[in-house]
Every structure is written in structure tokens, then in C-alpha cells.
Amino acid sequence: MRILRTPEERFADLPGFPYEPRYADVPDGLRMAYVEAGPAGGEPVVLLHGEPSWSFLYRHVMPELAAAGLRAIAVDLIGFGRSDKPADQAEHTYARHVEWTRALLFDALRLSRVTVVGQDWGGLIGLRIAAEHPERIARIVAANTGLPSGDIPMPEVWHQFRNAVLKAPVLDIARLVQAGCRTELSEAIRAAYDAPFPDESYKAGPRVMPSLVPITPDDPAAPANRAAWQVLTTLERPFLVAFSDGDPITGGMAPILLKSISGTSGLRHPVIKGAGHFLQEDAGAELGRQIAAFVTST
């Protein structure tokens, strides 16, 4: 495996993100990065980002969790942020991303009683981990995400996004994040989203992730996702659905989750107002408060 590692100086002077990076080794000789906020003895809340962002996305969420006495752990998926980046798209598979993240959380950090928060690809990975290791999970938060198995068609806007990512001669990471936000990102914020990728050779992860989403019933990841659905529908764990009111990509998943998953019963599920796909950017503090209230009340 040919591995690239973003130079640390690319992450200098990140606005509103003072957290010191931490690292752990995961399978395939890779180093995975994460940051923490809050007391080390607090209940762990794992924050998983999606395509094409990194843990910087959670900079407004983490202080709210820390203030509630929780241990916020924001992860950089392999291929993103400060984590190592396999340079060949073929090295990225859905199964590998699940295993890399599982190894970080359970082998390296030895977490238990975890609240998993997933948005976008963070949900596709986090929901699989929760279903496959329920003994380590206390709660689940799904925020603008889902668990596709290829049995239900994806919306046309998602196919347009997938094709744009695959075909773009130069993949403009900051522009993709901006397109998923209601608020206007400053130049400094846009630069922070570009920071992990010095040139196109570092972008195999963002390039390939849309094509790893199961969109046909015979996709290699479809059986594992169907199995995960079977577990999640009856899993006795509190499950919060915290979607924004303006996400054309995953918005249709909210009612499916609420109807299908027994852990959603009896909970008040917030709709985050005035936010797009990247609700952490548009309303991160509000999302953080909702997560904190959910964890401390269950």
C-alpha cells in the first residue's frame, strides 16, 4: 500500500480548532488521527465525519459536549484530515473503512459505553460498527446520514454529486463543503478544509468514497449493511435522529430511521433549523447541545 501523510505545517493556524492531534496505529500499517475535548473520564462521544470533510467539521460541536462533562472524540477517517492517506483508490473499501475505525475505537482507545455520532459517511461507518459491536455501544446519533443497502434508489442529487466527484479534473474540497452549507464559509474556513490535501495525489479517499456507497442490491457491501439493519431495528439502545431541515441528499432517511429502529421510540428527535447537509457548520452548537442533552438524559 502506497501511503501519503499530510505535512503537519498544513494544519497551522486552524480557526477555532485548538485541539492537539493524537494518533494511533490501525491495520495495514496506517496511522489514524483524532482530537479530544472534555474530561478524560467522561462518557465517550465519538464524532465521525463524512465526505469530504474531517474532524475540523466538529469544532462547534465539541465545546458543547465538553461543557456537559462528556469526552468528545472527533476522528479523522483514513484518507482524510491528519490521518494517513492510501494513494490508490483501490485500497479504499467500505469494509476496510469500517475495520480501520473499529480498530481505533476499540483496539487502540479501548472505548466502551460509546455514543456514536455519524454524519454522511460517518453514519455509514458508525452504524455498521454499532450493529456489529453492540456490547460496546451505549447510544447512537444519526445526523444527516443513513445505511444504504442498494435496495432503495438514491436520490438524483446524490448521483449528480457522485458523478461530479468522479469526473472533476481537480477536486475542489472546500467548494464541495460549501455546497453542502447554508452559511457562507470564510476563506480561512475553506482553507482549513483544503489543508489535508496538498495536491491531487492526496485525494484518493474523497475521490472514491461516493462510489463505495452501495447503490445496487449486489454491491459487495450490501449484505453486511442488510445484516446491520436487522440488528439496528431491534437493538435496545437509545437512537437519536438529529437531521437538519435542508438536506436534499439524506433528508429522506430521517422518516425511515424513525419508523424502522426501535431505539428511536419515546425520544424527542430534533430538527436542526436553517442547516444544510453539513449541519455541523451551519448549526454546530445547536447540534452539540442536542447531543449533550440526549446523552445526559439517557
Active site residues: 120, 247, 277
The Cβ of residue 1 has, within 10 Å, a number of other Cβ atoms equal to: 11
* Integer Cα distance of 184 and 179 in angstroms: 10
* Closest CA relative to residue 123, chosen from 275, 243, 230: 243
Supply φ then ψ for residue 55, to 5 degrees: -60, -20
251 close to 32: Cβ distance less than 8 angstroms: no
H or E stretch covering 256: helix 253-260
* Integer Cα distance of 195 and 11 in angstroms: 6
Cα distances (Å, whole numbers) of residue 58 to 9, 63, 230, 278, 283: 21, 9, 30, 10, 10
